Amino acid sequence: MVGGEDPLPGARVLISEDRIEEVSSGENKPLPETNALISGEDAIILPGLINAHGHSPMTIFRGLADDLPLKKWLFDYIFPAEAKHLSPDTVYWGSLLGCLEMIASGTTTSIDSYFFADQIIEAADKAGMRALVAQGVIDFPAPGVPDPKKNLDVGLAFLERWIGFSDLITPGLFCHSPVTCSASTLRQAHEISTRFDLPLQIHLSETKEEPLEILKKAQVRPAFYLDDLGLLDSNLIAAHAVYLNDEEIDLLASREVKVAHCPESNMKLGSGIAAVAKMLGKGMTVGLGTDSCASNNNLDLLGEMDTAAKLAKVASLDPTLLDAESVLKMATVRGARLMARENMVGTIEKGKKADIIIISADTPHMTPMYNPYSQIVYAATGADVRDVIINGRIVYKDRQFTSLDSDEVFANIERISKEIA
């Protein structure tokens, strides 16, 4: 995925500790002495995928409230379920289940946000995943933050607790939306994030109701409202961004705001279709996210790529939009740029962190192969991921976890789901 370079046939990648030491080609070259050798024969080697937007603990609500409009789904089902069942325990095990699912389907980095974010970090650390984990901020009583007046105190303490904890983990803040957070909360969250030079995440214009509510409150559309509050800059990650007009897209592009596109969640909740091709045409950084298992219902980023490409085509009646290579960039190098880690991950090249996955290509649905980009986006699924390396550490080998006890995770999820049911 290095810019200007074609896929390398007969490739081999040498890893030393946590970094890529060499990328070369040539089957006849002698192999160096090595502690571990993973065969890439009949396979595709590519950078680990980057999930640009998710709420991993919500795996515990997978399938709980399907086939409902977003507002009813959120206020009548999800918010009450969160209030009753979220705890450090349920968030921890739900996050570990999310880590299992992401690793097994090729995701090595997660941009995550939720409540009880300490437990999300603990789970990601145990799994060996790379993650940007944000503490949720909302102006309502929330799990772990019963007094909304203290939401930013909790968020600030979270940042101070986890900054510098690990090379793999970055903390952050996540403001739920311009509708559920006041102008004061939004400004303060941005000020805190800027002070620590950390990304700020927010849901932006996910539904057609949000622009109407902001127009009624502030007499401007949501992007201009956030701009008036000083939030629009290169550290802001806006998830969904479905209901933006051309002027708002121009504004976001001029402010270098980044967008996390979540097509399957947007489709399932009937929210709409984001103008991703238009955003990319304006030079915006757009990554690809799954959103939560309560609104998707899986964390398979390979499947998300297929959906993103086809949805853009059918929405525009233009089959050339969002070609396979562009979509794969959204899940790799553009996802790295989204979290300001493009110098660290997102491509396979010397000096970068060794976040690498291997996808089997010796199955009927992966045969024959004329174009690896098309094969990955339109044919592969998460089940084709065979090996996963994160930060130079093998966490998934021959479809077996090396860093997590999946039986332990499943047992705890069964216990939690019985309580929820």
Q: What percent of the chain has pLDDT over 90?
A: 93
CB contact set of 359 (below 8 Å; sequence gap of 6+): 43, 44, 46, 106, 366, 376, 380, 384, 385, 386
Give the pLDDT confidence score for residue 277 in this predicted structure.
Answer: 96
- 389 touches 354 (CB < 8 A): yes
Q: Where are the domains of the chain?
A: 49-338
Of 231, 225, 301, give the one whose Cα is nearest residue 262: 301
- What pLDDT band is residue 73 in, cutting at 50, 70 and 90? confident
In the predicted model, is pLDDT for residue 68 greater than 90? no
Give the pLDDT confidence score for residue 407 in this predicted structure.
Answer: 97
Lowest mean pLDDT among 9-18, 181-190, 226-235, 381-390: 9-18
In the predicted model, is pLDDT for residue 177 greater than 90? yes
Side chain identity at residue 214, one-letter code: I
Pairing of the two strands 107-114 and 130-137: parallel
Of 112, 101, 133, give the one whose Cα is nearest residue 56: 112
- What pLDDT band is residue 88 in, cutting at 50, 70 and 90? very high
User: Which has more pLDDT, 27 or 332?
Assistant: 332
User: Which has more pLDDT, 36 or 125?
Assistant: 125
Give the pLDDT confidence score for residue 32 in this predicted structure.
Answer: 78
- The beta strands (E) that lie in 370-413 are given as 385-390, 393-397, 400-401
**Average pLDDT of the residues of the chain:** 96
DSSP H stretches of helix in 317-405 = 324-330, 333-338, 372-374
| DSSP 3-state of 390 | strand
Give the pLDDT confidence score for residue 26 in this predicted structure.
Answer: 74
Structure tokens at 330: 């959204």
Give the pLDDT confidence score for residue 92 in this predicted structure.
Answer: 98
The mean pLDDT value for 104-123 works out to 98
Per-residue pLDDT tens digits for 315-370:
999 999 999 999 999 999 999 999 999 999 999 999 999 999 999 999 999 999 99
Residue 20 CA neighbour count, 13 Å, CB half: 24
Give the pLDDT confidence score for residue 71 in this predicted structure.
Answer: 82
Alpha carbons 41 and 360: distance in angstroms, whole number: 9
In the predicted model, is pLDDT for residue 261 greater than 90? yes
Give the pLDDT confidence score for residue 34 in this predicted structure.
Answer: 81
In the predicted model, is pLDDT for residue 113 greater than 90? yes
In the predicted model, is pLDDT for residue 196 greater than 90? yes
Give the pLDDT confidence score for residue 368 in this predicted structure.
Answer: 96
Pairing of the two strands 258-261 and 236-240: parallel
Give the pLDDT confidence score for residue 338 in this predicted structure.
Answer: 96
- 137 touches 181 (CB < 8 A): yes
- What pLDDT band is residue 5 in, cutting at 50, 70 and 90? very high
In the predicted model, is pLDDT for residue 29 greater than 80? no
Alpha carbons 184 and 170: distance in angstroms, whole number: 25
Give the pLDDT confidence score for residue 288 in this predicted structure.
Answer: 98
Give the pLDDT confidence score for residue 231 in this predicted structure.
Answer: 98
The mean pLDDT value for 296-311 works out to 97
In the predicted model, is pLDDT for residue 31 greater than 80? no
The highest-level CATH class for domain 49-338 is: alpha beta
> Crossing angle of helices 183-196/151-162, nearest 10°?
10
In the predicted model, is pLDDT for residue 28 greater than 90? no
According to DSSP, residue 33 is labeled P
| DSSP 3-state of 244 | coil
